[in-house]
Chain A
Amino acid sequence: MEIVFAGFGGQGVLTAGLITAEMALENGKNVTWMPAYGPTMRGGKAYSVVKYADGIIGGPDMEEIDILVAMNEPSLEYAAYLKEGGLIIANTNNVSEDAPIDSKFRVIRIPCLTLAQKAQNPKAANIVAIGAMIKACGLFPEEQAKAVLRQIFVDKGKEKYTAMNEAAFMEGYQAV
């Protein structure tokens, strides 16, 4: 499985990849996570690649993507590496409705930021996207995914955000 989270710096695409990587590890898989970003902290192009498999994983960078989570419109350029029949999750808060997407791909359009705001957690648009992705593809059981999400923030000493993050996750999960 090869998943790319792409957007601009500050949208949480590196963290989204990390959370997904931890979920895959919990699921007993071999995992790689690779970040890519420019020298700027905010606003520049950024993406992370998560790969997981039962066997050995090849190169960590994008090769043949199964799922592309496009948090903004320029990220759609990575569709060039998407497998035929691959899935694009497009954040409609930053990807316009008429953005050209090849019909050989499946597309789910959801307003990640709007849903995160609805969950009183405007920084968690990335977690909304994860919820939608897991539901759409059945990657991990819902309870297991939520438990990993909780643990990651507890380990970071950010326990107080647990409920807010879970709410954001569920907004995405139920939107699909």
Chain B
Amino acid sequence: MRKMWKGNHAIAEAAMRAGCQFYAGYPITPQTEVSEYLSYRMPELGRRFLQAENEMAAVYMIFGAYACGMRSMTSSSGPGFSLKQEGIAYLCANNYPAVLVNVQRWGPGLGTLDSSQTDYLRDTRGGGNGDYRVIVYAPNSIQETVDLMYNAFDVAEKYRNPVEILSEAALGQMMEPVEFPPFKERTEDLGWTFDGTDRPHGRIDNPQKPDALRAKVAAITANEQRWENYRVEDADYVFVAFGLPSRTCRNAVDQLREQGVKVGLIRPITVWPFPYKAFEEIPDTVKGVISVESTDAGQLIEDVALAVKKMCPGNVPVYGLFSGQKIPKTKEIVAFFGGVRSGETKEVF
């Protein structure tokens, strides 16, 4: 039966259903309900919950737990996630899986509690020192948050790479009806964890490391792109938006279609790997592509521009609607589109 769940509680419960055995984290709004929920839910299920002394300690605790094969996760918001980056780089350097949750708030610095997507570039580019990428899911509803979390550990363990759920303040705080999948558990040995024997533990050193990383990135890019296209097949203009802005964008598409304007929407579900394949459906006659995002000066638009360069013939202009610390309203998207169509609004790329 579908019940109303808060995004932050739902993601925590979904992690339990997915078999998470260990959590370490440190409070920060608007993410604290993830920890709060797990602080009583995990002992109830006989699992380990720990409030660490700080964010960096939390990420190294899950590093240690995963070294022993325990399904482990941590969560934070933008500022706390910055502090975790050193540990995330170490997870990647050692070829360790992990599940990370970032409930974004508007930054930079300590920022505010407002809902935004201003961590996009940091989180899709690795974010810390060295060369690595984290697989990043960007859900746009609470049910999708649950469904993606349910598979996150499997994907992380398959590639031995961290997987992040990139949420937003409003998505963490809001409630929607949700149905949960059943509890599952991984019982098989991962093959590389510390089990008391001297088997290899998975770290790849020079000179093999660059080749190994290239192969991993290629495999993830080939297999893990996820997206949802909406009315793209005959579109003259295509919006690209993920997370909550994709929902108002979809409304804008419907409103504009009612007026006879051919528009569509590409919604990346993975923001790394970026779903280049979604752009294959854009017709060659497309007149423009519009990135709609809750950032101040544009972040997603860089990936959109690269995808358009690769997938669309000619020099298709790419525009950007950047709504700052709020979800762009349907009306604002429709109005912005008016400017694009009339030529008043200039392209960014």
B4 touches A60 (CB 8 A): no
Answer yes or no: A142 CB below 8 A from chain B CBs.
Answer: no
Answer yes or no: B244 CB below 8 A from chain A CBs.
Answer: yes
Residues of B within 8 A of A21 (CB): 4, 175
B4 touches A61 (CB 8 A): no
Interface of chain B: mostly helix, strand, loop or mixed:
mixed
On whether A63 and B176 interact (CB within 8 A), knowing A25-B2, A33-B4, A58-B251, the answer reads: no
Give the residues from 161 to 197 in chain B that come closer than 8 angstroms, CB to CB, to chain A: 170, 173-177
Answer yes or no: A57 CB below 8 A from chain B CBs.
Answer: yes
Answer yes or no: A56 CB below 8 A from chain B CBs.
Answer: yes
For A30, the closest partner residue in chain B by CB is B177
CB distance from B27 to the nearest CB of A (A): 14
Answer yes or no: A166 CB below 8 A from chain B CBs.
Answer: no
Answer yes or no: A157 CB below 8 A from chain B CBs.
Answer: no
Docked complex Cα distance between A63 and B334 (Å): 13
On whether A59 and B251 interact (CB within 8 A), knowing A25-B4, A34-B170, the answer reads: yes
Answer yes or no: A75 CB below 8 A from chain B CBs.
Answer: no
On whether A63 and B4 interact (CB within 8 A), knowing A21-B175, A32-B176, A57-B247, the answer reads: no
On whether A58 and B248 interact (CB within 8 A), knowing A21-B175, A34-B173, the answer reads: yes
Give the number of residues in A that approach B within 8 Å (Cβ atoms).
19
Answer yes or no: B262 CB below 8 A from chain A CBs.
Answer: no
Docked complex Cα distance between A31 and B142 (Å): 11
Docked complex Cα distance between A61 and B4 (Å): 17
B327 touches A31 (CB 8 A): no
Answer yes or no: B47 CB below 8 A from chain A CBs.
Answer: no
Residues of A within 8 A of B113 (CB): 39
Bitwise, B138-171 to A at CB < 8 A (1) or not (0) is: 0000000000000000000000000000000010
Which of A30, A57, A59, A64: most chain B CB closer than 10 A? Answer: A59
Bitwise, A15-36 to B at CB < 8 A (1) or not (0) is: 0001001100100001111110
Docked complex Cα distance between A33 and B170 (Å): 10
Seen from chain A, the residues whose Cβ lies within 8 Å of a Cβ on chain B are 18, 21-22, 25, 30-35, 39, 56-61, 63-64
Q: Give 20 new A-B contacts, CB below 8 A, not counting A33-B174, A61-B170.
A: A18-B4, A25-B3, A25-B4, A25-B177, A30-B177, A31-B177, A32-B174, A34-B173, A34-B174, A35-B173, A58-B247, A58-B251, A59-B245, A59-B248, A59-B329, A59-B330, A61-B326, A61-B327, A63-B329, A63-B331
Seen from chain B, the residues whose Cβ lies within 8 Å of a Cβ on chain A are 2-4, 113, 170, 173-177, 244-245, 247-248, 250-251, 326-331
